[in-house]
């Protein structure tokens, strides 16, 4: 009586084990959804950090340009001379 029914029973047992693994095992469907939520959160954090990095790069570029502008202003208004440079002052001709 049991000779013809062993194959469906074994197949049903394997199917049950696969279902258990699908729903409760490692890398199961609940794990998939939790990882999906983690990826979404991480992508949002990465976007925020990328925006922050872009702002910091803009600040760095402004400071680089700003330093050149400050140096130019100091040369013209205050007579800044760097070490190793020679200063030549050209005076306008007197018109008397």
Instruction: Find tokens 């190793």 and name the residue.
Output: 84
Task: Give the start-to-end residue ranges of the domains of the chain.
Answer: 37-74
C-alpha 14/C-alpha 27 separation (Å) is 18
Tokens 């700003």, located at residue:
66
pLDDT digit string, tens, across residues 25-74: 788 888 899 999 999 999 999 999 999 999 999 888 877 887 777 777 78
pTM confidence score: 0.49
**Percent helix, strand, coil in the chain (nearest 5)?**
70, 0, 30
8 A C-beta contact, residue 23 and residue 29: yes
């Amino acid at each position: 009586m049991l000779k013809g029914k062993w194959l469906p029973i074994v197949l049903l047992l394997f199917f049950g084990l696969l279902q258990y693994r699908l729903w409760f095992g490692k890398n199961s469907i609940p794990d998939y959804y939790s990882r999906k939520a983690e990826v979404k959160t991480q992508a949002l954090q990465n976007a925020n950090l990328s925006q922050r990095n872009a702002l910091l790069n803009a600040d760095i570029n402004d400071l680089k340009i700003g330093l050149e502008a400050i140096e130019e202003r100091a040369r013209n208004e205050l007579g800044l001379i760097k070490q190793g440079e020679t200063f030549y002052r050209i005076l306008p001709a007197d018109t008397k």
